Structure 1
Amino acid sequence: MPEVTLVESIPSSTVKIPLTEPNVTRTLGVITPVYRSLLPTKKLFYDFHNEFFARIDHFNK
């Protein structure tokens, strides 16, 4: 369960255990419109996404 789920109403018996095995991967995609520009906030996220994953890809090689 994502950690953010535990922010409110945490039962006292709940504990957080970080997973180290198995290595879990997730595919992430961003869909952008072809015929119009992105709003500034959406463009900021799009640029961040591309830069972040380009850096991660660089370290995984």
Structure 2
Amino acid sequence: MKPYVIKSQRLAGYLMMRGFVLKGMGENDRYPGRNVFFFKNSPELVQAIESYRQANETK
């Protein structure tokens, strides 16, 4: 299964605080000097990302 790629450091931190394990990091090809974060793709991860987006929509 392909890893889920996160381009936001803030979202990656949110996921790690909720117990998701960072599988790796790399440099963002599109934006040099920025990172991408790799997580194991799972329904729980997708649900946590959706919760994060909904919580930050209201700000």
Q: Same fold (TM over 0.5)?
A: no
Greater strand fraction, Structure 1 or Structure 2 = 2
Larger relative CO (CA 8 A, sep 6+): 1 or 2?
Answer: 2
Structure possessing the higher radius of gyration over alpha carbons: 1
When the two structures are superposed, what TM-score results if normalisation uses the length of structure 1? 0.35
Q: Give TM-score scaled by structure 2 length.
A: 0.36
